[in-house]
Amino acid sequence: MRGLASYPREVKIFLVASLISSAGGALMWPLITMFVFKELGRTVTDAGLAVLVMSLGGIFGQLLGGSLYHRLGVKRLIVGGVGLNALFLLLLPYGSGQWHLFLLLMCLIGFFNSMALPAIQAFIGFRFTERRAELFNIIYVANNIGVALGTAISGFLAQISYNLSFILNGLISALFAGFFWVYLNKVQKTQGKFHVEKKKENADKKNNWNLMLNYKIYFFMGLGSFFIWLANCVWNNGVSPYTISRGMPEWNYSILWTLNGILIFVAQPLISWIKRVFAATELRQMTASAVFYMLGYVMILSFHTYSSMVLAMVLITLGEMLISPAIPSFISDHTGKSAPFYLGLVGGMGVAGRVVGPYAMGVLFDWNGLVPVAALAVLISILSIASFMIHGLFNRDKVRRMA
């Protein structure tokens, strides 16, 4: 990964904005289960339902955002999605006293936050074609430095006020929307409207149905992503209530996610070595990622100590570092102008795992604690390995032609 000095100024500003935005998100998302379970006094199953509703909104947001990229333009999608996400985050403290209103707000937050994601990824892929794989990884690292900063204080903020976390996240999201408004207006003035305003003639002439029929390019990759996100619900709907039930303070759990963010920054040399020696292609990176996830869940299942959870987080973070840049990079490289649609489709399939996972694992935890939740995570991660291997078999010729 080359130094940041080789990138233009706009990329550096974009990285700083992404870092700040991810820090704001980290103030809230690791604590949702704790908020519902401890502050609202509801069951872990109810906490899983809240995350399910938010994730369900996220699925429709991803699919709609990818489908509308060429119709609405990136500026309307990103600024509108992030801005409305900020609005509903700021309203969330006022709805927490009424369970159904709280669920509605969670759904809207998931929808508008996810609607902007395919547009942001597609914009990066189109605007920085020659270095997009590297840039996807650098932005991913910047986002997770923000996660480390946010989670470092999220547990302490929760001990003061959960609502404070929601409000700070909403304010930061509003600032992020303002940044994109200024930034994209500047891009439009200097580079033209190609990626900013809608321009239907630039859209792929194929309709969405024809794109979906090309299942080999996306389906098993999306299925593997679905399984990974489903299994990863073990953290919020297994480990999180387990630490509370053992009398651990909230900051013990937030420290795990702080470790996640720090590792994503400091373990880049290790990931570069893994890619160079074992996983040179994006297809291999996806499969290797699922293996690391599985090993992490095995640690949680085998040992129920805080130190084992720390080691599990290390393994799972390595898996995350491999897969997060690999999927958008693969899609951008191989699907051309249809990339926004496939980014939304695969992203939606991944988010679907968060829909199924929280509620199912919440029920399992309420039934018999951490063990059945971790066992399910191990089983599902094995399915993700199989899915990515099938995706690799279908697409290995494309990689050879690109070599």
| Span 274-279, average pLDDT | 91
CB 196 within 8 A of CB 76: no
pTM, whole model, 2 decimals? 0.75
The answer to whether residues 227 and 180 belong to one domain is no
Higher model confidence: residue 261 or residue 263?
A: 263
Task: Give the Cα separation of 14 and 17 in Å (integer).
Answer: 5
Q: For residue 124, which of 147, 140, 107, 113 has the smallest C-alpha distance? A: 140
| Span 353-382, average pLDDT | 87
**Nearest 10 degrees: CA dihedral of 2, 315, 118, 390?**
100
| Span 260-287, average pLDDT | 89
Q: Supply the CATH number for residue 21's domain.
A: 1.20.1250.20
The answer to whether residues 123 and 256 belong to one domain is no
Instruction: Tell whether the model's pLDDT for residue 403 goes beyond 70.
Output: no
**44-48, 156-160, 305-309: range with lowest mean pLDDT:** 156-160
User: Could you report the per-residue pLDDT of 334-354, keeping only the tens digit for each?
Assistant: 888 888 888 888 988 887 887
Percent of the chain, pLDDT > 90?
A: 23
Structure tokens at 270: 């290790």
How far apart are the two ends of the chain, measured CA to CA in Å? 19
Higher model confidence: residue 195 or residue 384?
A: 384
The answer to whether residues 247 and 384 belong to one domain is yes
User: Could you report the per-residue pLDDT of 316-326, keeping only the tens digit for each?
Assistant: 999 999 998 89
Vertex 294 angle, CA 293 and 300, to 5°: 95
The answer to whether residues 181 and 225 belong to one domain is no
The residue with tokens 């707000």 is 105
Instruction: Tell whether the model's pLDDT for residue 402 goes beyond 60.
Output: no
Chain-centroid distance of CA 117 in Å reads 9
- Number of independent structural domains in the chain: 2
Q: Which domain holds residue 144?
A: 8-191
The whole-number pLDDT of residue 396 equals 81
How would DSSP label each residue in 305-321?
A: SHHHHHHHHHHHHHHHH
The answer to whether residues 297 and 273 belong to one domain is yes
Domain-ending residue, one of 191, 224, 254: 191
Instruction: Tell whether the model's pLDDT for residue 131 goes beyond 80.
Output: no
Task: Give the Cα separation of 268 and 261 in Å (integer).
Answer: 12
| Span 77-90, average pLDDT | 88
